[in-house]
Structure 1
Amino acid sequence: MAPEHEQHPLFLPLVFVGGLIFGFGLGFSHMAQPEVVLNFLQFEDLGLLFVMFGAAVVTGITFFGIKQFRREAPLTGAVYGRRLKTLDKNVVIGGGIFGVGWGLSGICPGAAYASLGVGNVVILYGIAGMFVGAYIQGYWRSTRAEGDAPATAAD
């Protein structure tokens, strides 16, 4: 387990500001409207493709460039590194559920919150569904972990 680093006092306020900027960008680009996302998924409006491409380019340049100038994250002090995860059945099943939910609601979880900001209160049903799904998944994993725990001498 990696040692914990002390967080800079501005870490959480900057995360909040970053979320506000992200939400504003989603609202400004109309990507917080389920109709736009559904039109993209039906290949009627490919504007979302350009938004995602732009985000991927900025992210790629940032991830490549940051390691050239800094070894540690400025607000946490954690060393930059890759976190490789294996592709297993839980990832595939979870990704499938995520994709089906996105297709049915017309909006991904991040944009769902931004959608509230543009007046879409009906999305509260989708957000409630996300919370219920997250609870069920957490409960399922915790009961599975308890069943996989090895027996101890105290048992």
Structure 2
Amino acid sequence: MKFTTLFIALIAGVLFGIGMNVSGMVDPKNIFSFLDITGSWDPSLAFVMGGALAVFVPFHYFLIKPRAQSINGSNISTPENNKIDKRLVMGASIFGLGWGIGGICPGPAVASLGGASITIIVFTICMVIGMKATSLLSKTC
């Protein structure tokens, strides 16, 4: 990989982590409050997502979308399958179930690793094991 690609990935990751921590979205209590639509609902996560989209969309439209190649020189490919199928619904349901039970989303979990919380470390390890197991199982089926 080129140094430029790694540097851009590093900067993007650091900005993401800082943003998640500053917004408080690495705290499961905030996630549970957002998901509790029948109780004391806290819409702050929606504002964080909306703010992120407000920054991302113009950059995507003017800088990313017109490009024929990615930063590392490879072709940009877009997904060809845009169907809502059984696999997508099952995956989304399992992801939502895990998010709802744990109150931890993968992005904020990775952003929280710097805090060395044993809960976040165990969650991240189990998440990686689940991803690898799913990858291996989907190749055999």
| TM-score (normalised: structure 1) | 0.76
Q: Which has the larger radius of gyration?
A: 1
The runs of 5 or more residues in structure 2 that have no matched partner are none
Please name the residue that 2:93 is paired with.
96
Number of positions where the alignment pairs a residue of Structure 1 with one of Structure 2 = 137
- Alignment partners' CA distance in 1, 2:25 and 2:64: 31
Seen in structure 2, the aligned counterparts of structure 1 residues 80 and 34 have a Cα distance that, compared at 3 Å, is same
Shift of residue 39, structure 1, vs aligned partner: 0.8
1:1-150 aligned within 5 A: 8-43=2-37, 44-66=41-63, 70-73=66-69, 75-80=71-76, 82-85=78-81, 86-144=83-141
- Alignment partners' CA distance in 2, 1:100 and 1:74: 34
Percent identical among aligned pairs is 32
Shift of residue 33, structure 1, vs aligned partner: 0.8
RMSD (CA atoms): 2.1
Greater per-residue helix proportion: 2
- Over residues 11-32 of structure 1, what are the superposed CA-to-partner deviations in whole Å (9 max), with x where a residue is unaligned? 0122022111101110111111
Q: Does the 8 Å contact 2:70/2:76 carry over to 1? A: no
- Alignment partners' CA distance in 1, 2:75 and 2:139: 30
| TM-score (normalised: structure 2) | 0.83
**One-letter code of the match for 1:142?**
K
Shift of residue 130, structure 1, vs aligned partner: 0.8
Shift of residue 36, structure 1, vs aligned partner: 0.8
The runs of 5 or more residues in structure 1 that have no matched partner are 1-6, 145-155
